[in-house]
Amino acid sequence: MAAVIAGAGLLQPDRATGATPAPEPAKGPRAAAPDAHAAAYPLDCKGAPHLVTATAEGDLDGDDRPETVAAVRCDAGSGTPPHAIYVLTREAAPGAPPRVVATLLDPAQRRTATDLTVRDRVVTASLLGYSSPSVPRYSPDVKQFAKWRWTGGKFRQELTDSTAGRV
């Protein structure tokens, strides 16, 4: 027992210096994603205003600056106008409006976008459409699940027919 007490006396903690370890360097505040409502969209609404129906934010190209993905349609007042999906980036000049850098869904495809998300640098949306001109515009009968991923300097799209259960 005496040997244990003597050995414990030889093992002493390091001298206290009163200093605390240096904190990890802060990465700084995260840049804000562009405001989808402040952008000018290349969507011809024949005089009607644009309506942003959904947005999602995330760093899509890996540059540590978030982009905004916006689903936009003409605010026609009736019917089901098709959506366009745009990717916005923040301009370098302070106070400048966001800039559209990519069109993921062209309104000429005549689809309605729902469930817009950004996760793990991938944009996803459900796209509703019509199998023929005889299908009433209030009752889409085609549903697809779309993914867009930034690859090789551009967005690549993958479509899956959600009625086949491969979502």
- 85 found inside a domain: yes
Residue-wise pLDDT tens digits, 78-91:
777 889 999 999 98
- What is the SS3 assignment for 1-42? CHHHHHHHHHCCCCCCCCCCCCCCCCCCCCCCCCCHHHCCCC
Query: What pTM was estimated for this model as a whole?
Result: 0.77
Query: How many domains does the chain divide into?
Result: 1
Tokens of 87: 């990717």
Label residue 103 exposed, middle or buried (CB < 10 Å: 0-12, 13-18, 19+): middle
- 149 found inside a domain: yes
- 21 found inside a domain: no
Residue-wise pLDDT tens digits, 19-75:
545 555 445 456 789 999 999 999 999 889 999 999 999 999 999 999 999 999 999
Kindly tell me if the per-residue pLDDT of 134 is higher than 80.
yes
- For 36-63, letters b (16+ CB in 10 Å) and e give beebebebebeeeebbbbbbbbbbbeee
- The residue range of the domain holding 66 is 30-164
- 10 found inside a domain: no
- 121 found inside a domain: yes
| pLDDT recorded at residue 10 | 47
- 15 found inside a domain: no
Tokens of 120: 């793990």
